[in-house]
Amino acid sequence: MNSTAMRTHMCGELRDAHIGSTVSLCGWVARRREHGEKLAFVDLRDHSGIVQCVVDNDVDVRSEYVIRVTGVVRARPEGTVNANLPTGTVEIGDCQVEVLNIAEPPPFPVDQRADEVDEGIRLRYRYLDIRRERMQKNLRVRALVNSAIRREMESNGFLEVETPLLMPSTPEGAREFLVPSRKEPGSFFALPQSPQLWKQLLMVSGIDRYYQIAKCLRDEDLRADRQYEFMQLDAEMSFVSQDDVLENIGRAVVAAAKAVTGEEPPTIQRITWLEAMNRFGVDKPDMRFGMELVELTHVFSGTEFKAFAGAESIKGIRVDAKVYPDAAASGRNKLDALTDRAKKVGAKGLVWIKVGPDGTVESPIAKFLSEDEIRSLVTAMEAQSGDLVLIVADNWDTTCEVLGTLRNDIGRPPVHEGPYAYVWVTEFPLFVGVDPVSGTPRPGHHPFCHPHPDDISLFDTDPLKVRALAYDLVLNGWELGSGSIRIHEPELQRRVFNLLGISDEEADKRFGFFLQPFRYGAPPHGGFAFGIDRLTAILAGEENIREVIAFPKTQSGADPMTSAPTPVENSHLAELGLRLLPPPATS
Ligand code: ASP
C-alpha cells in the first residue's frame, strides 16, 4: 500500500520475514556511523520507523539528507540485534545509495532529544519537529480520532454540513476575532467561536442530525488546554431529549478512544452540577482520585468558635497521612503555603487539623472546639491518625471553590495519566452570578440553553436557582465540551434575553437574523460540541494540546515559524478603512 515508483517498502515495516528480499526505501538519514574502514551504518528514517542500512564508507550522506537505498534485507550478525528497534533483527546490505536531496545540519537533533529543546525553537522549525516519532505519532492519533468520530456520526445518521467562517458577532461569551470588511469600511465580520447559530438554524431547516468537525476561534489567553483556534466535533439533533444527545455524543467519544487505545473505555459516569460542586468543589471534577469534599456545617451548628459560628457552609477535605507525613511538625511551610493558596482563591482563612492517635488532634484552633465537635469532625472526615484535615467556612461558593482548588492542587495526577475518568455533568445553572454594573444575571453558558422545565416558575422570583438543560463532558478534570437542549420557543428566548438585560429591540437588532427563523417552525432540538484537541492530547498521552496540533501558537499567542501576527502596510489598512492608534503606554 505504501509502495510508490521510488520505494517498495517503508523503513519501519521490515522484519525477519523480509530476509532475502531486495527492497528500495526512501527517507531521511537519522544517523551515520563508521563501521570499520570500508563500511558505514546509515539509520534510515521515514514516518514508519528506522532501519539500519550497511553502505560503503565513501557514500557521502549526512544527517537529514534525503536518500533512496536499494539493497537486500538480511539478518543482523549475531550479537548485533537491537531489541529496542522493531526492525532490530534485520539490516539492509549490498546497498546502492542515491542522494535525492542534501540538507543543512538541523538546528536540533530530529529525535527524542528535541524534547529537551526550548519549545519556541521546536515551533520555529516545526516542520523538522514533526519529522520526529513523537509528533508523527500524535498527528496520526489525531487523524484516528477524527476518522473514528466521522464514521460513528455518519453511522448514526448525522449529516456533515459546513458553515461559514465569516459571520456576525454573536453572544456566546468568548472574545471574538474580528475581520474588517473592505467593502463596508467600519463594519466587521466575526470569526466563529463555534457554529452554534448555524447549527440551530440547520435544525429549523429540517436537517435533523447535523455534525461538523469545525474550526472554532476565540481570542482568549492561551494555556495548556487552549489555543486561539481549535477543532470541535460540533453536533445538533432535532426532536430529542438530553439523553439522546448524551448517548450519541458518548458513542463518538467511545469510538475515538477505542480507535486509539484498542480498548473499550470505561462507562461515562453522570452527575449533576450540584453534586459535582458539593463533592469535588469544581464543575469539571477529576474523578480519578478521592479526597472528596465533606459537608461539616452540621458538625459545627452550635459551635462557640467564632470563625465557624453562623457560616453558611463549612466543608473539609482529608489529606492522607502519606501525602504530608510531617505536616504539623516540620511541615509548617507546607501549611502556610496551603493557607496562602486558599486565601488567593478567596478564603478568609484555612483551618488545618492534624489527627493524632486515640482521637487527639493538633491544630491552632483545637482549644476553641469542644470534645464532641472534634469527635464528630474526625468521624465525618473518616480521618485516621496522621491524616490532615483542611477546613473552610464561608459562603457555599467560596467553600466549594477553595477546597476544590486545594483538592486538585494536592491530589490531581497529570491529566494524561491513566486511568480515564469520563463524566457527564448535567443541570448546570442557567445563570451564574450577577453583572456588577447592570445588576442583571449572567448566562451560565450561552443564552440559547433551555431552562429546566421544573424551574421555569423560578424565572421571575429566583433566577439564579434556575437549572438549565445544559451539560458538559469532562475527562480527567479537563472540560472536553458542552451542550444543551436549546430554546426553540421565540417567546421563551425573549424572556431569557430580557432577564439578561437585552431588550426586545436590542435582541432584534443584534440577533434578529437568528430569532426570526424561529417564528417559522423551529423543532425542539439540542446538541453538543467537544474539543478534538483535548481528547486527542489525553489519548496520545500528552499534557498540552500544542503537542497534538501540527502548527500551534505559543503560549503568548504567536507563531515563531511565520512570525505571525505581523504588522501590515498602511496602504492595506487604508483599504480597510483602518488607522492604527499609537501603541498603549507600558507602565
Ligand atoms: N457551541 C457550544 C460551545 O462551543 C457547544 C454547544 O452548546 O453545542 O461551547
Task: Give the domain CATH number at 144.
Answer: 3.30.930.10
Check which CATH number belongs to the domain holding 88 and give it. 2.40.50.140
Last residue in a domain, options 81, 101, 121: 101
Last residue in a domain, options 411, 445, 466: 411
The answer, yes or no, to whether any atom of ligand 1 lies below 6 A from the CB of 527, is yes
Residues of the domain holding 34:
11-101
pLDDT in tens, 32-60: 999 888 999 999 999 999 999 999 999 99
pLDDT in tens, 333-369: 889 999 999 999 999 999 999 999 887 899 999 999 9
Q: What is the tally of structural domains in the chain?
A: 3
484 and 273 in contact (C-beta within 8 Å)? Answer: no
Q: Report the Cα–Cα distance between both ends of the chain, in Å, rounded.
A: 61
Mean pLDDT to the nearest integer, 574-585 = 92
**Residue ID of nearest Cα to ligand 1 atom 4:** 194
CA of 194 to the centre of ligand 1 (A): 6
CA of 531 to the centre of ligand 1 (A): 10
Question: 333 and 259 in one domain?
Answer: no
Rounded-to-integer distance, Cα 495 and Cα 332, Å: 54
More confident residue, 583 or 481: 481
> Measured from the CA of 481, which atom of ligand 1 is nearest?
9
Check which CATH number belongs to the domain holding 359 and give it. 3.30.1360.30
pLDDT in tens, 293-316: 999 999 999 999 999 998 999 999
Query: At 250, which helix (H) or strand (E)?
Result: helix 242-261
CA of 518 to the centre of ligand 1 (A): 19
Question: 263 and 142 in one domain?
Answer: yes
Rounded-to-integer distance, Cα 282 and Cα 278, Å: 8
In a domain, 247, yes or no: yes
In a domain, 278, yes or no: no
Helices (H), 38-130: 119-124, 126-129
327 and 447 in contact (C-beta within 8 Å)? Answer: no
Between the alpha carbon of residue 449 and those of residues 171, 393, 427, 468, 525, the distances in Å are: 12, 33, 11, 6, 10
Question: 407 and 318 in one domain?
Answer: yes
In a domain, 368, yes or no: yes
Q: Strand, helix or coil at 140?
A: helix
Of the given ranges (9-13, 179-183, 512-516), which has the lowest mean pLDDT?
A: 512-516
Question: 369 and 471 in one domain?
Answer: no
The answer, yes or no, to whether any atom of ligand 1 lies below 6 A from the CB of 484, is yes
**Residue ID of nearest Cα to ligand 1 atom 9:** 482
Phi, psi (rounded to 5 degrees) for 530: -130, 155
The answer, yes or no, to whether any atom of ligand 1 lies below 6 A from the CB of 212, is no
**Is residue 280 over pLDDT 80?**
yes
CA of 196 to the centre of ligand 1 (A): 6
CA of 223 to the centre of ligand 1 (A): 19
The answer, yes or no, to whether any atom of ligand 1 lies below 6 A from the CB of 451, is no
Question: 327 and 391 in one domain?
Answer: yes
545 and 506 in contact (C-beta within 8 Å)? Answer: no
In a domain, 505, yes or no: yes
Question: What single DSSP character describes residue 548?
Answer: G
CA of 470 to the centre of ligand 1 (A): 10
The answer, yes or no, to whether any atom of ligand 1 lies below 6 A from the CB of 482, is yes
Question: 144 and 204 in one domain?
Answer: yes
**Residue ID of nearest Cα to ligand 1 atom 7:** 483
Q: Output the pLDDT for position 330.
A: 52
The answer, yes or no, to whether any atom of ligand 1 lies below 6 A from the CB of 529, is yes
CA of 525 to the centre of ligand 1 (A): 13
Rounded-to-integer distance, Cα 234 and Cα 480, Å: 12
**Is residue 291 over pLDDT 80?**
yes
Question: 431 and 520 in one domain?
Answer: yes
Mean pLDDT to the nearest integer, 197-215 = 97
pLDDT in tens, 55-69: 999 999 999 999 999
Q: Which of 217, 246, 249, 446 to mutate to test the pocket of ligand 1 (most atoms within 8 A of CB)?
A: 446
Q: Which of 158, 172, 191, 196 to mutate to test the pocket of ligand 1 (most atoms within 8 A of CB)?
A: 196
In a domain, 510, yes or no: yes
CA of 172 to the centre of ligand 1 (A): 9
More confident residue, 583 or 217: 217
**Is residue 214 over pLDDT 70?**
yes
In a domain, 583, yes or no: no
Question: 544 and 427 in one domain?
Answer: yes
Amino acid (1-letter code) at residue 249? I
| Entry pTM | 0.94
Q: Output the pLDDT for position 169.
A: 84
pLDDT more than 70, % of the chain: 99
The answer, yes or no, to whether any atom of ligand 1 lies below 6 A from the CB of 196, is yes
Q: Which of 220, 445, 472, 474 to mutate to test the pocket of ligand 1 (most atoms within 8 A of CB)?
A: 445
The answer, yes or no, to whether any atom of ligand 1 lies below 6 A from the CB of 163, is no
Question: 361 and 235 in one domain?
Answer: no
Question: 145 and 262 in one domain?
Answer: yes
**Is residue 144 over pLDDT 90?**
yes
Q: CB-based burial of residue 339 (10 Å sphere; 0-12 exposed, 13-18 middle, 19+ buried)?
A: middle
Last residue in a domain, options 411, 432, 456: 411
**Is residue 510 over pLDDT 90?**
no
Rounded-to-integer distance, Cα 211 and Cα 190, Å: 21
Question: 524 and 439 in one domain?
Answer: yes
- Taken as a whole, the chain contains a residue count of 587
The answer, yes or no, to whether any atom of ligand 1 lies below 6 A from the CB of 398, is no
In a domain, 1, yes or no: no
Question: 218 and 167 in one domain?
Answer: yes
In a domain, 130, yes or no: no
